[in-house]
Structures are given as structure tokens and as C-alpha cells.
Structure 1
Amino acid sequence: MAGFTDIGASPFLDGFALRDFRPDDGPRIRFAIAGQGKPLLLLHGHPQTHVTWRKVAPALARDFTVIAPDLRGYGDSEKPGGGPAHIAYSKREMARDPLALMTALGHPRFAVAGHDRGGRVAHRLALDHPDAVARMALLDIAPTATMYARTDKAFATRYFWWFFLIQPFPLPETMIGADPAFFLRRHIEGQTRVPGATEPAAFEEYLRCYMDPATRHAICEDYRAAAGVDLEHDASDADTRIRAPVHALWGAQGTVGQLYDVLATWREKAVTVTGRALDCGHTLQEERPEALLEEFRRFFGA
């Protein structure tokens, strides 16, 4: 039977409580929650957890009911097996977790912001469950199918993990497992353009989760699904446009902003698209939190 378990106060998101959600059908999801007002779902990316929202979530909770889960396979959420074709980590399946969580919390319709992998989950959520998504902010991504279709040497070099993590088990898992701290640090530092944006305590928390072999395997399954079954799902509804207003934000110094016309890519996928670049790298919520807060308040209607 679906239910909630209280874990305690969040050590990273000031004023937030940590809880576990166990749905009737699906993995256990760890999430942080605080605030009052309209519901706002925050979805993190790789290699972070919900802790990536620590610089913006407490301020947002003054105006919104903020819910920040760990995606399945990440952080302290459950890590199911990938199954045939890595289907358990398709964005269609991953999107069902936050939908079930928000519904169980009494929020059948909500706003969502997704960074990196979380943005891809949000994209699928808006396509599969359009009545649930009121507004959607997407942070530093172009559509998955677009990025794979337009792959060139520059993209493959800068985002090498898109092609490394999808290799068959156990190649990437074994290689990363030889020195997870080195891989994680190089990954984060390679995408960040604001020194110190990921402070030591946050890095150690990400590393704690990354040290779990089940987490590393789940991450690979996430990327394997993105290069396979997710592309099949994208192709099957290529003519479907996102109905919810989309606000795309990206780092002016990051790979996505330098290689793609971000607004143009999302205008191919959604009816209404706004957005702009922030002066940072990939992780806007850690590198430029005040600027991101201003964008969120304006777009989500604080």
C-alpha cells in the first residue's frame, strides 16, 4: 500500500523535511519538501541529487510548496533493475515516479523545473501527462533526439559520457568503479565555470551516493535508455507538441549554449517557449542561484 515515511530534517536544504514515498507500483522515492503555496517540482540531473537545489529551494519555499525528489536510481531513492531494453530507466518510466508522488501529495497539477537528466524526465512528463504540468522550466538541455541527431566531433568530445555510459554492462561500471571520486570530480569540474559553485560538503554528498555500485549502474542504465528506448518513444510522438509554457535557461559558457540554438530546438517541440542564457556553465542552480531565482519567480508567478 502506498505511503510516506518521515526521515528527518534535511542537512542541505534549510527548512526542508526528508521523506520517503512508497507507491503501490514503483520504486521508493526519497524527497525533500517545504513551503506553502502553488506546488513546484524540482528534478535534478546527473551526477547530482536533490541536494543540487540547496541554494534556491529555501527561497522558493517562501512562495511555493517545493518538492525535490531524488530520481529513481539516484541519491537515496531505490534503484530498480533496468530490465529489457533498459526500460525501467526510460524517461517514460522515470516520469511516472514524480507524477505518482505529486498526486499522492494532493497536487494533480503542478509546475516543474528540471536540470539535465531531470529536464529530460520533465519533457517526457509533459508529453505523457499534459494535464498534470502547468508550466515547465528546462535547465541547460536541448531535446535528447535533437542532440543525438546533430552529433558532431565537438559534441562527442565535450559530452563524451553520452557515448561512454551507454556501452554494454559492465564496461563503464567497471572503469568508473576503479576511481569514482576522480570520475565524479572531473565530470563536475569539467562542466562548471564558476569556481567553488559545488562546495566541498555538496561534493562529498554527491560522492557518497556515487560510491554505491547500484547508483553507478542505474546511471548507466539511464543513459542507455536515452540512446535507445527513449529515442523510440520520441520518434513515435515526434509531431506532439508540449502544451505547457516552457522556459528554457542555459549557461552561456556551457556546451549546450555554445553548440545549439536552445530556443529554436525547443520551439520545435513546444507551443510556447521563452528563455535566455545565464553567465555560467552547466549547473545554473549552483553557479548562478540568484539569477535563477529571479527567472523562476517571474516564470512560475511567485
Structure 2
Amino acid sequence: MAEPKWDDLRVFLAVSRSESLSRAGKALRLDPATVGRRISRLEQALEVTLFMKSPQGYALTQAGARLVARAEAVESAILSAQDDATGGGEEMTGQIRVGAPDGCANYLLPQVCAAICEDHPGLEVQIVALPRVFNLSKREADMAITVSPPTAGRLTSQKLTDYHLHLMASRAYLEKSPPLDTLADLEKHPIIGYIADLIFDAELDYLSEIGGPRTSFASNSVSVQLNWARIGAGLVIGHDFALPFAPELTRVLATEFSLKRSFYLVRHADDHNISRLRLFAQELGTRVRHEMARLEGRT
């Protein structure tokens, strides 16, 4: 059995993460036929079958799944060596992709990441805003901000900060609507919330905290929900840190109802030796906590 070359392992990881020759080729800037030949060469060298072709794409065999951990360890070692060769130390350069829920991605991360890049001009930050859990094992991002710590996989997590939520509505809406003196009065008002079957984490099921009222307007996007509230469509459970960006809104029933949730920074366990990712995570954590305090009016 021949020892696999890194270049072939790199192609193998791309296919395992994308489950497609064409998507892997796009990521590697290779044509799909070349990707297919490289996989065949690796299988011949290892004398095993790494993928099973199905209508859904390329699925790992048991042998392929065992190879993933080995290939990722090689990948991490090479990335760490490249990091050292390009400066390492205390300077951050290169590209870092951060995945985050869209509320965090829209109202918290832009100013935080802009400040980090101002201090580190050689750094390029990409923010991927998606209303779902990121798959770091497939390298969808270098790190992800989540609302729950991971419970499986070769991942590490650290708590970034707490954040708070309240019922909110536009001042124009409140002026024309029935009185809101207690939570029982909510039944007289249209409610804005998540699409129930698209809630990807139980921590986001805010409406269950007030008895699960029926929504008149629903979206899987925090930004859409907030914009509905801004134009006076109804009441929403919104992030306090988003209020500075929505001056039309005000908290309602704040003494009767509030929620506290947390953001966590999740990273792949194999990335702990990559200095630019480690330094970025440290600076991101510090700046996120300071910015959260500022936006929520605690500083």
C-alpha cells in the first residue's frame, strides 16, 4: 500500500466535504474529471474504496470515514506550517471565514470585524450569515458563532457573551393598537416570530416562553422579523443589541418578560496550532463582549 500524497488527500477532503466532484472541483479550481481521476488514484494507492456514488452525491464508505481524521490532521499540520512560514507571531494575515446566525451577523459582527481588520490590514474576514448550524467538519467556515455549544464532533467551544431579548414594537404601532398592560393582552395583537419547522436550535424558540402564541408573520430571518416590527406589523421578541439599528422600536412589557441567551465560538479541534485563527478568536471574543455591552446600553 502506497503512502498517500497530500495533494491527493486535499482532493479527497474537498469531495468528502462537498459530496460532489463538481463542487469539489470548483473549490479547488480543478475540472470534475480531474477530481475524479485523483480520487481513483488515491483509492488505487490505498487499495480501498473511499466513496459510494448515489443519486444524492458521493458518500463516504467506512474506509473513507476513517481516512477523514487522518487527512484532517495532515491538513492542520500543513496549515500550521504555512502560518509559521508567513509570519505567525502576533500578526494576523490571510482569509478567515466566520459563520454566524443572521442576527449576530447583521448587527454585531460587522463593526467588530471591521475594527479587527483596521488593526490588521493584511487580514480578510468573510461573514457567512445562515439561519442554520454550520458544519465545521466540512470547512464551511473557519469558526462559527452558535447559540448552543456543540455536543458532538471534534470541536471546541468557548462562551463569548450573554445577550438579552425583549418584546418590541414600533411606536407608531403602539399608538394605534389596543393597550398592552400584561402578557395576557398579547392575544389582541399580531405576533412576529420564527417559522416553527425551521427553528434549528431550541434556544431560538422564544415564543414558547410566552405560551407559544400563533404568529401572524413568520420568517427564519431575524432581520426580516425586525423589519416587520419596524414598519408596524406587530410585536416581536427582538435582540436588545439590535435596538440601536432600529430606532422605530421600543421595548414593551419589559418588567414582565425578558430572555437571556448566549453566543459561543466554535472551532475545529485540529486548528488549535494555527496562530492566526487562535489570535483572531481571542480578539473576536474581547471585542464582541465590549460591543455587546455598548449596544445593550451597559457601558
Higher relative contact order (CA closer than 8 Å, sequence separation 6+):
2
Larger radius of gyration: 2
Q: Same fold (TM over 0.5)?
A: no
TM-score normalised over the length of structure 2: 0.30
What TM-score does the superposition give when structure 1 sets the normalisation length?
0.30
